[in-house]
Structure 1
Amino acid sequence: MFDKIFKLKQNDTTVRREIVAGIITFLTMSYILAVNPGILAEAGMDRAALFTATCLASILGTLFMAFIPNLPIAQAPGMGLNSFFAFSVVLGLGYSWQMALTAVFIEGIIFIALTFFNVREMIVNSIPKSIKDAIPVGIGLFIALIGMKNAGIIVSNPNTMVSLGDMANPHIWVALLGLIVTGVLLYKEVPGSILIGIVVSTIFAAILGLVQMPQGGLISTPPDISPIFLKFEWSHIFTLDMLIVVFTFLFVNLFDTIGTLLGVASKAGILDENGTFPQIKKALFADALGTTFGAVLGTSTVTSYVESASGVASGGRTGLTSVSTAAMFAIALFLAPLFLMIPASATAPALILVGLFMITSVVNINFGDFSESIPAFLTIVMMPFAFSIAQGIVFGMLSFVLLKFLSGKFQQISVTMWIIFALFVTKLVLEAMHVL
């Protein structure tokens, strides 16, 4: 049955491998169950209800990705977008969280329309191959930085921006132990190496007293979602502020999703020679549905998660991996204390090593042609430096158009690229004028 639905043999994988990969993906992204409610609660939303909404939105979005395009990519409320929701729209502009949820819902509807008319697919297919090869590399460095930040290995510094963390921090040693254990297991080709590494790290963290054991039992009833369910506000729908908010949500989600899909799909080996894959329209449709239903449930924009690369690195190749991840989110609804006790330092080695796995496509970049290598380089470095997948793509594509145009290689710039270039420049100008 699984083979018929998910084409396991065709993708050279097994049920066991897919399930383990899904569990690993869940463990590397399960932090969202604690972080998303905390961020959105700052906007005045009910924190307990947000936990349930985050779980349900992640389940639905991930199942959409499993059964529509059959991809091992999980979805959940996106980091960055939830901060924009709470701190910019609500606390910054002074609008209600109901208005912000309405903007997210409108964004989802627009994405469904853009996907139906192939606009999003056209944008994906128009991205130059050099940038497509650079995207997984940039994402690899980006998620490795996230892993190191979660473990405290890399910390902020007012003088040097970033620096090495305090080596007396026990979380660093939890991550380093997990890194070594997982590395040895990977070298020996032990199945489920990353998952074993997470378990070993968690046990070590417990020995050091870094893990808070669940109090009051492992099983709890999911909190009531009614305080945030279907809470839309339509009074500001035709205002300029609503337009700006929706546009910003659209922009960040579009290119975060494109970057994640291309990066993870590249690692899964399902891209063709032009850097595209047949399921892209279905994947974008699943993403749009996730955002729309997430808003109905009461959470910020749902998007594809780059942490899915950890499951792909463990052998996940089909939608069965996503089903496994969704099942873990469903269990988490009732076992939140157990899953939330895994410290971020225990999942950090998975993110760091996935960063290693994803940089391999750098060898495909033509470094001899500066009109190709400079945009690729900017795509790579801006993702970790700006802490944004979307901004990496923006700088890469802007520089590609400018360099090709000024080098006289007009024929290599598609009409779609010119349109994207104009939109990017417009957005940068509006940001410079503090309109966005």
Structure 2
Amino acid sequence: MTQALDRLFHFSARGSTVRRELVGALTTFFAIAYIIFVTPGYLVQTGMDYTAVLIATCVSAALGCFLTGAFNLPFILTPGVGLNAFFTYTLCLTMGYSWQQGLAVVFISGALFLVVALTPLRDKMVACIPPSMKNAISAGLGMFIALIGLLNAGIVTARSGALLLGDLADPAVLLALLGLLVTGVLMAWKVKGAMLIGIAAVTLLGLPCGVSALPQQAAAGFSLAPTFLKLDFGGVLSLGVLPLVTAVTTFTICLCFDTLGSVISIAGAGGLLQTDGGIGENGRALTLSALGTCAGACLGAPALIPPVECSTGVSEGARTGLHSVFVGLLFLAAILVAPIAGVVPSAATAPSLILIGMLMIGNATNIYWHSLEIALPCFLTMIMIPFSYSVADGIGVGFISYAAIQLVSGKGRRVPVLTYALAGVFVAMYVLSAL
């Protein structure tokens, strides 16, 4: 059995084992399991059926994982939190599209992204990002992941328009801090599966403290009917041509650069980038993300992207598509036992996210800080990704500032034309969004 799997996934050649892929998959799944409940929590505000969206989330994520597994990539695909929020609050609640029309916009955006991913534009787009900027994206995503972990655990809270220290008397906060200490010590001792052990320990300790809760029911009802193939292409022009162009352009750019940023960061966490900083065969994740987005829209879930939480499994040693297949199977199992998957509290997964953020921010040491024209765009990219709560916005600010500084400083000829084009696209996106 092991030999057959090795022939399919070549994990021996990549320095991995079945056990390492499985441990990585378990770590990844429990780090991202919250998406099973977060996605319907967002989308129900648009009028969508909660249970149907929950099932669509699991099915689309499983499909995305099997797609990446088929191409032997250690990435997974799940609905993106930021894109869930964009779908709910921008497309539906602000612009006024119905959720059926919103899913049609997502499908069109996925198809447009697929065109980009299947053409030479994909590699040129990656190549036009300066090496220091790639490191800034990775470091910024590390800060973003750590911020998500801190917020999820309640160690940091958002109040009165500011990020403030949370309630240190809250049992969830105390358990998260304990989990951070335990997991950090285990990692320092180089214990395999340290993050998974930390998640399990905090979950079990949380039961008597009331932080973890046993499920009231064993299974979720299985019905995709309320959302399956409900896309309303005929109604996408109901608000006019300009709003549709704005919606599709903005969503496509966010989808493209959220995916690209995550791929760079996850590959960097596992040492899977090329020596020149290129993403190599990992670039196929962009194509698969586009395909998954189209499929997800048909099922009733927004765009599928590689979640940054996948870094936890890759950091545990997962290197092949076997990791992705295992995660896909776990998502399918979660359809039947979704309440049980919810036993793991945010306080248990938060320490892993914080520690992954710590590891990823180390990429900032590879940025050429001695040159202001490089350092400033990189710095803006790093801080805007977590502070804007958007990978795409962080990359957009970085592109615009980099192109502007190079042009004003008289070094504009060194910058690829595509870099200026992408900066112009981001400017257009912000202008259209402001109209």
- Counterpart-to-counterpart distance in 2, 1:336 and 1:80: 22
Q: Equivalences for 1:86-105 in 2 at 5 Å? A: 86-105=88-107
Task: Indicate which of 24, 27, 32 corresponds to 1:29.
Answer: 32
Q: Tell me which residue corresponds to 1:199.
A: 200
> 1:224 corresponds to which letter in structure 2?
S
Structure 2 gaps of 5+ residues are none
| Aligned mates of 1:400, 1:248 — CA distance in 2 | 21
Deviation at 1:429, TM superposition (A): 2.5
Please name the residue that 1:235 is paired with.
234
Aligned partners of 1:25 and 1:207: how far apart in 2? 25
Q: Is the 8 A contact 2:82 2:389 kept in 1?
A: no
Task: Return the alpha-carbon distance in structure 1 between the equivalents of residues 97 and 136 of structure 2.
Answer: 38
Map 1:20-419 → 2, pairs under 5 A: 20-68=23-71, 70-158=72-160, 161-216=162-217, 218=218, 220=219, 222-238=221-237, 239-240=240-241, 241-419=243-421
Partners of 1:367 and 1:169 in 2: CA distance: 40
SS at match of 2:81: coil
Q: Unpaired segments of 5 or more residues in structure 1? A: none
For normalisation by structure 1, the TM-score amounts to 0.95
For residues 125 and 402 of structure 2, the distance between their equivalents in structure 1, rounded to whole angstroms, comes to 15
Residue 243 to residue 430, structure 1, CA distance change in 2 (3 Å)? closer
CA distance in 1, matches of 2:5, 2:132: 36
Give the CA deviation at 1:121.
2.9
Give the % identical residues: 39
Q: Secondary structure at the match of 2:280?
A: coil
- Offset at 1:95? 2.2
Tell me how far apart the structure 2 counterparts of residues 407 and 91 of structure 1 sit (CA, whole Å).
42
C-alpha separation in 2, matches of 1:366 and 1:414:
19
Instruction: Quote the Cα distance in structure 1 between the aligned partners of 2:334 and 2:192.
Output: 24
Between the aligned partners of 1:350 and 1:180, the Cα distance in structure 2 is: 11
Distance 2:288 2:70 in 1: 9
* Greater Cα offset, 8-17 or 111-120: 111-120
- The size of the alignment, in residue pairs, is 429
Hey, what does 1:2 align to over in structure 2? Answer: 5
**SS of structure 2 residue aligned to 1:42:** helix
Q: Which residue is 1:14 aligned to?
A: 17
String of CA shifts for 1:218-276, please: whole Å, max 9, x gaps.
3x254210111001212234542222221121011111111000111111112112211
Deviation at 1:93, TM superposition (A): 2.6
CA contact (8 A) 2:220 2:339 kept: no
Residue type matched to 2:54 in 1?
F
Q: CA deviation at 1:90?
A: 1.9
Q: Is the 8 A contact 1:121 1:280 kept in 2?
A: no
Q: Give the secondary-structure state (helix, strand or coil) at the position aligned to 1:18.
A: helix
Contact 2:250–2:429 (CA under 8 A) maintained in structure 1: no
Matched AA of 1:7: H
Give the superposition deviation at 1:329: 0.5
Contact kept in structure 2, 1:205 and 1:211, CA below 8 Å: yes
- Quick one: distance in 1 between partners of 2:337 and 2:137? 36
Deviation for aligned residue 1:411: 3.1
What are the superposed Cα offsets for residues 82-104 of structure 1, whole Å, 9 maximum, x if unpaired? 12222222222332111011111
SS in structure 2 of the partner of residue 396 of structure 1? helix
Q: Does the 8 Å CA contact 2:257/2:392 hold for their aligned counterparts? A: yes
The amino acid that maps onto 1:230 is L
CA contact (8 A) 1:29 1:307 kept: yes
User: What secondary structure is seen at the aligned counterpart in 1 of 2:78?
Assistant: strand
Partner Cα distance (2:8, 2:410) in 1: 49
RMSD: 1.4
Partner amino acid for 1:292? C
Q: CA deviation at 1:331?
A: 1.1
8 Å CA contact 1:136–1:263 kept in 2: the answer is yes
Whether the 8 Å CA contact 1:51–1:223 is kept in 2: the answer is no
Aligned with 1:80: secondary structure?
helix
Residue 10 of structure 1 deviates from its aligned partner by 2.0
Q: CA contact under 8 A between 1:118 and 1:281: conserved in structure 2?
A: no
Question: In 2, distance between residues paired with 1:59 and 1:363?
Answer: 36
TM-score, length-normalised on structure 2? 0.95
User: How far apart in 2 are the matches of 1:424 and 1:111?
Assistant: 15
Whole-Å Cα distance in 1 between the matches of residues 138 and 367 of structure 2? Answer: 12
- SS of the counterpart of 1:127? coil
The 2-side partners of 1:91 and 1:422 are apart by 28
